[in-house]
Amino acid sequence: MKQYLILVVPALLAQGCLSSKEEIKEQPLKMIKQIDFSHVKINDNFWSPRLNKHVSTTLPVCIDQIENQTGRIRNFENAAKGEGKHSGFFFDDSDVYKALEGIAYSLINHPDPELEKKADEWIDKIEKAQQPDGYINTFYTLTNLEKRWTNMDKHEMYCAGHMIEAAIAYFQATGKRKLLDASIRMADHMMRQFGPEKAHWVPGHEEIELALVKLYQITQEEKYLDFAHWLLEERGHGHGSKDGKGTWDPDYYQDNYPVKELTDISGHAVRNMYLYCGMADIAVLKNNTEYMAAIHRLWDDVVLRNMYITGGIGSSKHNEGFTKDYDLPNLKAYCETCASVGMVLWNQRMNLITGDAKYIDILERSMYNGVLAGISLSGDRFFYVNPLESKGDHHRQEWYGCACCPNQLSRFLPTIGNYIYAISDDALWVNLYVGNTTRFTLNDDNVILRQETNYPWDGSVKLTVSSTKDLDKEIRLRIPGWCKNYTITINGKEVGLSQEKGYAIVYDWKSGDVISLDMDMPVEVESADPQVMENIGKRAIQRGPLVYCVEETDIPGHFDQLTLTPDTKFQTSFENDLLNGVKTVNAKNGQQLITFIPYYAWDNREAGKMKVWIDYKE
């Protein structure tokens, strides 16, 4: 396998998402919906400890930073009083909203009256900071309201988008509408300012587009969907302006062409991900075939020419994004954690649209490597930037002045269950292999899914589907792109199967059957695309979905002389006492022994050098 997966563009299906309060219902035609994480109880050795850490450590860290260590919540308090200074960056409101969204998601599967009380306190402060006309942004409220809506790069709509997402999450978790109603007032305020026959606006940082789609889905108010579409259509027509005087970099802001004409990713990585998510949503809900064609072209450009083996994207610190195709330095790689989360969000949409497993392959790659590397095993330290090589001076931090990534993780981690299953009119789709018990209602039938696995350490999975009625659905089991050999049995008997778009299709099954998938998971030696000059003469190690790296602490004294050859022998060993339990890959090359650990686990021990790509001698 090369660093880029060269695959075909699939046919079009339709997309949908289920809120935590909705019954899962079959839809006409070919609709694929995720099964919402609120129905999924994860209980495995890999993800459960991380979800527990999210509740016990990560959320409290975020709350403490927002309340005590920074001025983020005080900005709302000051804005409500109409006095005092604004502290921090002009976009810091978004950190409060993202952490609040993380709280909401945590409450869904881990009810906690004290945590809910804390959220209510924040929401009261947010609502009191809102202006009578619905506008809310503490930066302009505390600096100069007359300057609001004069600079497209000041993240007013970006913050509003995160407010909307947090409001919907909290409404779904608790049924409480206060923040949702405040968000609706802000959305209506924006629509009074901008739109057809009104002022132009190009959001400097995308996010509002996908949030408005969610607002449409929760309210069924078509105007929010139309406004999201209008904002996308504003791009590429010369309307962008950073200061009202024309200062603007169209490539950086994805404003270089109308979005339907886009072919190449450019500029800031996270902004691109949110843009593509918004385009995917509109493509489905508006049946926009031009958007659909564009996001397929863009996916090819991102994955085949601009993605790291970790699923990270964005090679340049200069613009937190992209330079030219195949420019993928290891030491100076940017690979922002938020961008990897964005890859998960976008690729899930692409999978739901197409029913093609190749998108889940990328989702999984980004999630297990690019995203998980962004948070320490203790849950309280974070990476903003995720390089593929370190000279020993790159470390996780307790917090950042620009703290988008810690708060992004706080809202992403509790939703891992969103990506495991999906359902359509004719199939149950199994996308990720995570131990869990899932319960949902389908056409008045109670359905229970049980998945048992030690993934990602081995490739054995047992799935049991129980229902009171005949589901009359095939089961589609994703066969990961890294898997070359697998077997599927039903109640211990091997069955012949067909495969389509990366899924093995199980037709003949009944309630209570144990469906077993056994995937070979050998150590793979990976080479980069030859156009990646940085990695000529180098190799990387991958096993299953995990990319591996070498840390100096395991190989003191000769770290810089490490080499792999065609004769290198590999062995794996599960180390219970190492890095909260990991399967290491040990490479023996003559007298040289190299210990590889999962990339996500680096920088959790002694400071030292690290690298993913190792010199290779034929």
Contacts of 577 (CB under 8 A, 6+ apart): none
Strand partners, 575: 582
Question: Same structural domain for residues 210 and 354?
Answer: no
Is residue 380 a part of any domain in this protein?
no
Of the pLDDT bands very low, low, confident and very high (cuts 50, 70, 90), residue 591 is confident
Residue-wise DSSP of 412-467:
HGGGGGGGTEEEESSEEEE-S---EEEEEEETTEEEEEEEEE-TTTS-EEEEEEEE
Is residue 134 a part of any domain in this protein?
yes
Q: Between 136 and 557, where is the model more confident?
A: 136
Q: How far is CA 555 from the centre of its chain?
A: 33
260-274 per-position pLDDT tens digit:
999 999 999 999 999
Percent of the chain scored above 90 by pLDDT? Answer: 90
Contacts of 345 (CB under 8 A, 6+ apart): 273, 277
Provide the pLDDT for residue 24. Answer: 32
Alpha-carbon span 479 to 260, nearest angstrom: 32
Of the pLDDT bands very low, low, confident and very high (cuts 50, 70, 90), residue 186 is very high
Alpha-carbon span 69 to 576, nearest angstrom: 36
Question: Same structural domain for residues 542 and 482?
Answer: no
Average pLDDT over residues 525-539: 97
Question: Same structural domain for residues 263 and 173?
Answer: no
Q: Which residue has the tokens 């991102």?
A: 302
Is residue 130 a part of any domain in this protein?
yes
Compute the mean pLDDT over every residue in the chain, rounded to the nearest whole number. Answer: 93
Among 404, 405, 483, 549, the active-site one is 404
Question: Domain boundary at 519, 549, 579, which?
Answer: 519
Provide the pLDDT for residue 266. Answer: 96
Question: Same structural domain for residues 127 and 269?
Answer: no
Q: State the angle between helix axes of 178-193 and 222-233 in degrees (0 to 180), rounded to the nearest 10.
A: 50
CB contact at 8 A, 344 and 366: yes
Is residue 33 a part of any domain in this protein?
no
Provide the pLDDT for residue 28. Answer: 31
> What CATH number is attached to the domain comprising 474?
2.60.420
Question: Same structural domain for residues 279 and 428?
Answer: no
DSSP-derived pairing of the beta strands 436-442 and 40-42:
antiparallel
Provide the pLDDT for residue 442. Answer: 87
Q: Which residue has the tokens 């996010």?
A: 207
Alpha-carbon span 335 to 320, nearest angstrom: 8
Question: Same structural domain for residues 77 and 202?
Answer: yes
Is residue 14 a part of any domain in this protein?
no
Examine the pLDDT at 17 and tell me if it is beyond 50.
no
291-321 per-position pLDDT tens digit:
999 999 999 999 999 999 999 999 999 999 9
Is residue 407 a part of any domain in this protein?
no
Active site residue 206: no
CB contact at 8 A, 247 and 302: no
62-78 per-position pLDDT tens digit:
999 999 999 899 999 99
Question: Same structural domain for residues 78 and 206?
Answer: yes
Strand partners, 598: 548
Active site residue 67: no
Is residue 602 a part of any domain in this protein?
yes
Among 320, 336, 551, 552, the active-site one is 320
Question: Same structural domain for residues 287 and 163?
Answer: no
Angle at 341 between CA 314 and CA 577, to 5 degrees: 105
Question: Domain boundary at 497, 519, 541, which?
Answer: 519
Neighbours of 533 (CB within 10 A): 11
Is the bond preceding 456 in cis, omega lying within 30 degrees of 0? yes
Is residue 232 a part of any domain in this protein?
yes
Provide the pLDDT for residue 31. Answer: 74
Percent of the chain scored above 70 by pLDDT? Answer: 95
Of the pLDDT bands very low, low, confident and very high (cuts 50, 70, 90), residue 246 is confident
Query: In total, how many domains does the chain have?
Result: 4
189-241 per-position pLDDT tens digit:
999 999 999 999 999 999 999 999 999 999 999 999 999 999 999 999 999 99
Examine the pLDDT at 1 and tell me if it is beyond 80.
no
Q: Which residue has the tokens 């591996």?
A: 548
CB contact at 8 A, 256 and 237: no
Examine the pLDDT at 52 and tell me if it is beyond 60.
yes
Contacts of 383 (CB under 8 A, 6+ apart): 337, 373, 374, 375, 396, 405, 603
CB contact at 8 A, 214 and 262: no
CB contact at 8 A, 537 and 330: no
Nearest Cα to 108, choosing from 34, 238, 21?
21
Question: Same structural domain for residues 76 and 208?
Answer: yes
Question: Same structural domain for residues 264 and 153?
Answer: no
84-126 per-position pLDDT tens digit:
999 999 999 999 999 999 999 999 999 999 999 999 999 999 9
Report in angstroms the alpha-carbon separations of 115 from 56, 84, 103, 110, 501: 11, 28, 7, 10, 43
Provide the pLDDT for residue 443. Answer: 83
Tokens encoding 127:
């609502």
341-386 per-position pLDDT tens digit:
999 999 999 999 999 999 999 999 999 999 999 999 999 999 999 9
Average pLDDT over residues 25-44: 77
Q: Where are the beta strands (DSSP E) in 272-339?
A: none
Report in angstroms the alpha-carbon separations of 178 from 97, 105, 124, 168: 14, 17, 8, 10
Q: Between 532 and 10, where is the model more confident?
A: 532
Question: Domain boundary at 344, 374, 404, which?
Answer: 374
Question: Same structural domain for residues 162 and 244?
Answer: yes
Question: Same structural domain for residues 239 and 295?
Answer: no
* Domain of 430, in residue numbers: 423-519
Q: State the angle between helix axes of 337-354 and 404-412 in degrees (0 to 180), rounded to the nearest 10.
A: 40
